[in-house]
Amino acid sequence: MDDKSIKNIILSLTAMFLLLQNNIAQVTPYKYQINKKAEGKNGAVVSAHPLATLAGIEILKSGGNAFDAAIATQLALAVVYPGAGNLGGGGFLLAYTANKEMIALDYREKAPSRSHRNMYLDSAGNAQTNLSQNGHLASGVPGTVSGLFEAHQYATLPFEKLILPAIELAEKGFIITEAEARNLNNARKDFIRHNSITPVFVRDIDWKAGDTLIQKDLAATLKRISKKGLNGFYRGKTARLLVKEMKRGAGIIMRNDLRSYRTIKRQAMVSDYRGYKIIGMPLPSSGGLLIQQMLGMISDYNVSALNYQSPEMTQLMTEIERRAYADRAHFLGDADFIKVPVKKLTSPQYLKERMNDFIPGKAGSSTTTTHGIIDPESEETTHLSIYDKWGNAVSVTTTLNGNYGSKTVVGGAGFLMNNEMDDFSIKPGVPNLYGALGTEANAIQPGKRMLSSMTPTIVLQNEVPLLVIGTPGGTTIPTQIFQSLINLIDFKLSLEEVINNPKFHHQWFPDMIFYEKDFPSTTIETMIKMGYECKQRGPIGRTEGILIKNGIIQAVGDKRGDDHAEAF
């Protein structure tokens, strides 16, 4: 027996011992329940899937910190939540450590070296969104595995231990939830269309809740990562399988693209809102900037004098969202490639002026209200929130973009590739999967990162974490977080209300207010009278939040999905 096998056995025995010691031996991947709310004093994890949350909380209980738990939870999500948890995608990790350091890791996908700005236009110049949204050509170079290893420098346990739950879940299987069964059945045709080697997600009969999903190829990939680190993914067998898969489907990701992928450590965006410090992700995520803009615009208004979800409040927020998203479409993209006037876009003076044409009681228009004037300057993603007993807060949003990404599984390696190229503006004026418009700033360029809406957020009160929050939902993400912050800070709602109450969204174009089913109908009727077009839509996002107050750590998972909270 070699050293490695002995090490693995010791790790498995330790894991078993810990399970028994913590008296959760009854939790198995073949029998688990969803828990929406949990409280404790020592740590909390909330994510989109019970088994991923449990992987994270076990790591915290065994002495790991929030970074250890974030790595274990993300890896488990890549197995148990294949629609968005991923190895073949990317994401952003935002953290505030016990010693008051802000960390912003950008492991967003990048455009392959052979990409070019018109790659999704046909010979007549028409945009082919089928190619940017599905199949091999839709993928950017994946960043997740790089991001996990970058995060590991802040962790305390060996990577082999953090990846173990994911390996076991992939190898031995786990039972799927009703939502997962439904999603897999819905994507069946797409899986068949976009793969030449049939993935495990396709079988002859429909999936149903309680069926076991085993992913042997994925387990083998995870083992290569466990053994060889970054090289287990970006080089060697996994990289070869990925490049081969690309060739089978006219994709353009090359070995060199994989080898040269790097996570970028960025400066977090920090602003003040009514005495609270709001920490957000900088570009190429638009999230931090949009939150700063929206909170900046609303800060001059006496919000608590308006009623929660009243027409006045909804209109004010809508008009603010309209203006922020008009700026997003015009100015925002990867700031390593284009000049983005971030300072000006977030300056109090500019934000005040943006609201000059706001008329209370009368609908604005996206045709007349466009981006601000600036002088040249000198449905599927997933979020997890974690807090540990030392005071480290970690907020991660990660994605393949659409549900199950490009639908292409790397043959022999068992993981899904992203369809993140669609987050670029593939042609000015052509909306992407989320209806977002873009221009030059977000045009495709080799090596460039596509603009994102992902908004992992941490709020500090007196320099210590109060809230760790984030959500999926494409372009609705920043407006959801905007609402969550206002509802917590101005309206003093509980964390459960902040997360579960109905939400609404406006993104400049389409010039329309989208709202969830239970949003007050009297407000919607008044908004229509003011001249707004309003449309009910399905659930908006799946927020995962942790609130730390008076020494109690409270975690809440969104009611909209299988989201699961644990604390101890």
3-state secondary structure of 444: coil
Buried b / exposed e along 85-115 (16+ C-beta atoms within 10 A): bbbbbbbbbbbbbeeeebbbbbbbbbbbeeb
Tell whether residue 558 is a contact of ligand DON (CB under 6 A).
no
Q: Applying CB under 6 A, does 180 fall inside the site for ligand DON?
A: no
Residue 380 found at the interface with ligand DON (CB under 6 A): yes
Q: Does 109 bind ligand DON (CB under 6 A)?
A: no
Q: Cβ closer to ligand DON: 310 or 439?
A: 439
The residue among 165 and 472 lying less far from ligand DON, judged by its C-beta, is 472
Q: Which of 452, 479, 523, 554 binds ligand DON (CB under 6 A)?
A: 452
Per CB under 6 A, the segment of 16-24, 141-149, 221-229, 447-455 that binds ligand DON is: 447-455
Choice between 424 and 491, CB closer to ligand DON:
424
416 binds ligand DON (CB under 6 A): no
Q: Which stretch binds ligand DON (CB under 6 A): 6-14, 70-78, 110-118, 376-384?
A: 376-384
Rounded to whole angstroms, how far apart are CA atoms 494 and 458? 17
Residue 68 interacts with ligand DON (CB under 6 A): yes or no: no
By CB under 6 A, residue 333 contacts ligand DON: no
Distance CA 34, CA 544 (A): 14
CB nearer to ligand DON: pick between 97 and 403: 403
How many whole angstroms separate alpha carbon 57 and alpha carbon 46? Answer: 9
177 is a contact residue toward ligand DON (CB under 6 A): no
Is residue 399 close enough to count as binding ligand DON by CB under 6 A? Answer: yes
What is the rounded distance in angstroms from the CA atom of residue 409 to the CA atom of residue 412? 9
Judged by CB under 6 A, the chain residues 456 through 515 that form the site for ligand DON are: 472-474, 477
Using a 10 angstrom Cβ sphere, with 0-12 exposed, 13-18 middle and 19 or more buried, the burial of residue 26 is exposed
Measured CA to CA, the distance from residue 567 to residue 271 in angstroms comes to 29
**111 is an interface residue for ligand DON by CB under 6 A:** no
> Distance of alpha carbon 262 from its chain centroid, rounded?
19
- Judge whether 381 counts as a catalytic residue: yes
Query: For every residue of 500-514, which 3-state class applies, written as one string?
Result: HCCCEECCCCCCCEE
Judged by CB under 6 A, does residue 453 bind ligand DON? yes
Q: What three-state secondary structure class fits 335?
A: coil
Whichever of 43 and 545 has its CB closer to ligand DON, that residue is 545
DSSP state of 121: B
C-alpha pair distances (Å), 396 with each of 66, 77, 91, 190, 207: 11, 12, 7, 28, 29
Which of 52, 313, 454, 548 touches ligand DON (CB under 6 A)? 454
Q: How far is the C-alpha of 271 from the C-alpha of 120, rounded, in Å?
A: 38
Output 364 or 478, the one with its CB closest to ligand DON: 478
Check residue 190 for interaction with ligand DON (CB under 6 A): no
Q: Mark 419-438 with x for binding to ligand DON (rule: CB under 6 A) and - for no binding.
A: -x--x---------------
398 scored as a contact of ligand DON (CB under 6 A)? no
Q: Does residue 401 touch ligand DON according to CB under 6 A?
A: yes
Residue with smaller CB distance to ligand DON, 472 or 545: 472
Q: Which helix (H) or strand (E) holds 516?
A: strand 513-516
User: Do the Cβ atoms of 527 and 314 come closer than 8 Å?
Assistant: yes
Of the residues 73, 263, 314, 381, only one is catalytic, namely: 381
* Smallest separation, CB 423 to ligand DON (Å): 5
Closest C-alpha to 71, from 176, 225, 201, 174: 225
Q: How far is the CB of 499 from ligand DON (least distance, A)?
A: 16
Q: Which residues bind ligand DON (CB under 6 A)?
A: 379-381, 399, 401, 420, 423, 452-454, 472-474, 477
Catalytic residues: 381
